[in-house]
C-alpha cells in the first residue's frame, strides 16, 4: 500500500504531472488531500457561458479592458487569463510568498509549484 | 465609522510624512516598495457597488485602527483642500488618480513603518513603504510586517497557481512593484542617460517620470521601476533593481568627480547657470533648471546650505506643471534669483 505524500495516510491514487519536455513527477495522494487542497482546480472545468457567476464580469470585458472583475474570474476564465499572463510576463510560475491564512506546508507548495510548472497534463490512476 | 480626519491638525501630518525627501542630495532620493492585495470573495474596486466599497472600507479601517503602532492616521481625502492633496501627491503618498476618484477617499498613514495605504484604489489595498536613500530591503521588511498583520485578520484573494490576485493581471503574482527615485544630473550632463536606460530596459526595468507611469521626469530625476511581478520571489525582484541602481550610483559619482576635476566643464556649468539667472525671459523647462542648480551645488559652483536647496526643490516642484513658465519673474522668484546670484562662487 502506498502512502499519501501529504498526510502519510493510505493512498489509492497515483498522480502524475507531465510536462511538454517529458518532465514527469509522480505522487501518491489520498482522495482527502486531493479535495482538501483543491489540487485539481482549473484542470478541465467546463464553464456554461462567458459570464463570471460571482461578479457578472464577462470574457468580452476582459478582452477589451484587460482587467478582471473578482478573484473568481481568475478561475472561471482560467485559460484566457493564463494565455494573457504568458504574453505579458517572461515567467508565469509563481514563486512568491504565501498568505499566512493559506494553510499550506512545503509539500503542498511543491505540488502547487509543479502543477504550475508541468501544467500540460495531469493524470490520476491512468485517467486524465 | 467616525471620520477622524477633521480632528487632527494638518501640520502633524506634514511633519509625520516629512521623511520622504530627507535624502534629497543623494543619487538615490527614495526607495519605494508597494504591494496590491484584495479580500477574497469581493469584487475588485472598479467592478463593485458603492455599498460594497463602504463595507470593504469599514473592514479595513477597523483593522488599521488596531494596528500595533503609536500613530496611525486615517485621512479622508475628500475633506482635504487642493493644497493638502497636492502635498500628499508630491510626497507620493497618494496617486493623482486616487485624489480625483470620489469613490475611494481613505488613506492610512503609519509613520513608524513609513507606510501609506490606499483603500479601494485599483485594488482593495495598495500598501506602500517609502524610505529615503537606497533602502529597498528595509522597505520590504516593513511592508511584510504590515502585510502579515492584515493577513492574520482577513483572507486574501490568492491562488497557488497565480499568486496574489489583482484587478489588473499585470500585477498578479507577488503583486509587488519596487522603484527608486534617482537623481542623475552628472550622467545627463555627459549625455550617457539614453545609453544606460536602453540597457536597463532590456533587463525588465522601466524608466518613468517623477510621479511614475505616464508622468514626466523632473529635471534629471527619474523613477526606475521593476516590471515583473511573477516568476521571481519578492527578494529577487528587489535585489535585481538594487544591483542596477548601485551601478548607476557609481557612474553618477564618477561623472560628478570628472566635472569637479575639470575646470572647463565647471566653467561650462557656471555659464549655463548664470545665463538662466541673468535671462530676462525664461527659456526651457523649470525642472531642467533644477538639474543645473543641483549640478552647481554638487560641484561647488553654488555655495548654499542643504536646507536652502531643499526649499528650492519644493518651490520648483510646487510651481511645475501649472503652466507657470515665468515664476522667476514673480516677486518670490525674483528674490530667489537674487539670492542665488549672491551665493554663486565667482
The nearest CA of chain A is from the CA of B140 a distance in Å of: 12
- Average pLDDT estimate for B264-285: 75
Displacement of CA B227 from its chain's centroid (Å): 16
Measured distance CA(B66)–CA(B58) in Å, rounded: 13
Angle subtended at Cα B340 by Cα B337 and Cα B346, rounded to the nearest 5 degrees: 130
Helix, strand, coil shares of chain A, percent, nearest 5, are 35, 20, 50
Say yes or no for a CB contact (<8 Å) between B234 and A74. Answer: no
Could you report the per-residue pLDDT of B225-264, keeping only the tens digit for each?
Answer: 999 998 899 999 999 999 999 999 999 999 999 998 998 9
Which residue in the set A55, A74, A85 is minimally distant from B47, CB to CB?
Answer: A55
pLDDT tens digits in sequence order for chain A, 128 residues long: 678 877 777 776 676 666 555 566 677 777 777 766 655 544 445 566 889 988 999 999 999 999 999 999 998 888 899 889 989 888 888 889 988 867 666 667 667 666 655 544 555 555 54
Name the average pLDDT for chain B: 85
Residue B320, pLDDT score: 65
Q: Which of A17, A39, A70, A80 to mutate to test the interface with B (most CBs of B within 10 A)?
A: A70
Q: Which residue of A has its CA nearest to B52?
A: A55
Say yes or no for a CB contact (<8 Å) between B157 and A42. Answer: no
Q: Which helix (H) or strand (E) holds A111?
A: helix A106-117
How many pairs of residues across A and B have Cβ atoms under 8 Å apart?
119
Q: How many CB atoms sit inside 10 A of residue B80's CB?
A: 20
Between B245 and B310, name the one with better pLDDT.
B245
Between A3 and B331, name the one with better pLDDT.
A3
Looking at the complex, does the CB of residue B6 fall below 8 Å from at least one CB of chain A?
no
Residue B24, pLDDT score: 77
Read off the C-alpha cell for B120.
479601494
Q: Which of B48, B149, B169 to mutate to test the interface with A (most CBs of A within 10 A)?
A: B169
- Average pLDDT estimate for B294-319: 81
Q: Which residue of B has its CA nearest to A52?
A: B43
Measured distance CA(B92)–CA(B82) in Å, rounded: 15
Say yes or no for a CB contact (<8 Å) between A69 and B47. Answer: yes
Q: From chain A, pick out residues whose CB is under 8 angstroms from the CB of B172.
A: 74, 85
The nearest CA of chain A is from the CA of B161 a distance in Å of: 6
With b for 16 or more beta-carbon neighbours within 10 A and e for fewer, the B207-234 pattern comes to bbebbbeeeebbbbbbbbbbbbbbbbeb
Measured distance CA(A56)–CA(A66) in Å, rounded: 15
Measured distance CA(B164)–CA(B170) in Å, rounded: 11
Provide the 8-state DSSP code for B81: -
Q: What is the pTM of this model?
A: 0.82
Residue B1, pLDDT score: 41
Terminal alpha carbon distance of chain A: 22
- Average pLDDT estimate for B163-185: 94
Say yes or no for a CB contact (<8 Å) between B162 and A74. Answer: yes
Measured distance CA(B231)–CA(B234) in Å, rounded: 10
ipTM: 0.81
Amino acid at each position: 500500500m502506498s502512502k499519501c505524500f501529504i498526510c502519510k495516510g493510505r493512498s489509492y491514487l497515483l498522480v502524475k504531472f507531465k510536462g511538454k519536455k517529458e518532465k514527469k513527477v509522480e505522487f501518491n495522494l489520498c482522495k482527502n488531500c486531493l479535495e482538501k487542497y483543491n489540487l485539481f482546480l482549473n484542470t478541465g472545468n467546463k464553464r456554461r457561458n462567458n459570464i463570471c457567476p460571482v461578479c457578472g464580469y464577462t470574457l468580452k470585458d476582459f478582452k477589451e479592458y484587460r482587467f478582471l472583475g473578482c478573484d473568481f474570474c481568475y478561475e472561471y476564465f482560467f485559460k484566457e487569463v493564463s494565455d494573457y499572463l504568458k504574453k505579458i510576463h517572461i515567467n508565469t510560475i509563481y514563486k512568491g510568498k504565501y498568505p499566512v491564512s493559506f494553510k499550506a506546508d512545503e509539500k503542498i507548495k511543491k505540488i502547487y509549484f509543479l502543477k504550475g510548472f508541468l501544467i500540460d497534463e495531469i493524470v490520476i490512476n491512468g485517467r486524465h | 465609522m467616525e471620520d477622524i480626519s477633521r480632528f487632527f491638525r494638518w501640520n502633524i501630518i506634514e511633519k509625520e510624512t516629512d521623511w520622504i525627501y530627507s535624502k534629497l542630495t543623494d543619487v538615490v532620493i527614495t526607495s519605494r516598495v508597494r504591494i496590491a492585495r484584495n479580500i477574497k470573495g469581493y469584487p475588485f474596486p472598479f467592478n463593485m457597488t458603492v455599498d460594497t466599497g463602504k463595507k470593504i472600507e469599514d473592514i479595513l479601517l477597523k483593522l488599521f485602527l488596531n494596528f500595533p503602532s503609536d500613530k496611525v492616521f486615517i485621512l479622508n481625502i475628500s475633506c482635504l483642500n487642493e493644497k493638502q492633496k497636492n502635498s500628499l501627491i508630491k510626497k507620493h503618498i497618494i496617486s493623482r488618480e486616487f485624489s480625483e476618484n470620489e469613490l475611494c477617499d481613505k488613506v492610512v498613514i503609519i509613520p513608524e513603518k513609513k507606510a501609506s495605504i490606499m483603500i479601494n484604489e485599483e485594488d482593495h489595498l495598495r500598501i506602500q513603504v517609502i524610505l529615503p536613500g537606497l533602502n529597498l530591503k528595509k522597505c520590504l521588511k516593513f511592508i511584510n510586517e504590515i502585510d502579515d498583520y492584515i493577513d492574520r485578520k482577513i483572507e486574501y484573494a490568492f491562488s497557488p497557481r497565480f499568486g496574489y490576485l489583482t484587478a489588473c493581471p499585470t500585477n498578479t503574482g507577488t503583486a509587488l512593484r519596487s522603484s527608486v527615485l534617482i537623481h542623475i544630473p552628472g550622467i545627463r550632463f555627459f549625455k550617457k542617460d539614453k545609453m544606460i536606460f536602453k540597457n536597463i530596459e532590456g533587463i525588465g526595468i522601466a524608466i518613468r517620470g517623477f510621479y511614475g507611469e505616464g508622468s514626466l521626469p523632473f529635471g534629471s530625476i527619474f523613477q526606475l521601476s521593476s516590471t515583473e511581478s511573477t516568476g521571481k520571489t519578492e527578494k529577487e525582484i528587489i535585489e535585481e533593481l538594487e544591483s542596477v541602481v548601485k551601478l548607476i550610483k557609481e557612474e553618477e559619482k564618477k561623472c560628478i568627480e570628472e566635472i569637479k576635476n575639470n575646470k572647463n566643464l565647471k566653467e561650462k556649468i557656471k555659464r549655463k547657470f548664470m545665463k538662466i539667472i541673468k535671462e530676462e525671459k525664461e527659456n526651457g523647462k523649470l525642472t531642467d533648471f533644477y538639474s543645473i542648480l543641483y549640478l552647481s551645488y554638487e560641484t561647488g559652483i553654488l555655495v548654499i546650505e542643504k536646507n536652502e536647496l531643499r526649499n528650492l526643490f519644493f518651490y520648483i516642484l510646487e510651481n511645475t506643471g501649472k503652466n507657470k513658465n515665468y515664476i522667476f519673474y514673480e516677486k518670490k522668484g525674483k528674490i530667489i534669483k537674487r539670492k542665488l546670484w549672491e551665493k554663486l562662487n565667482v
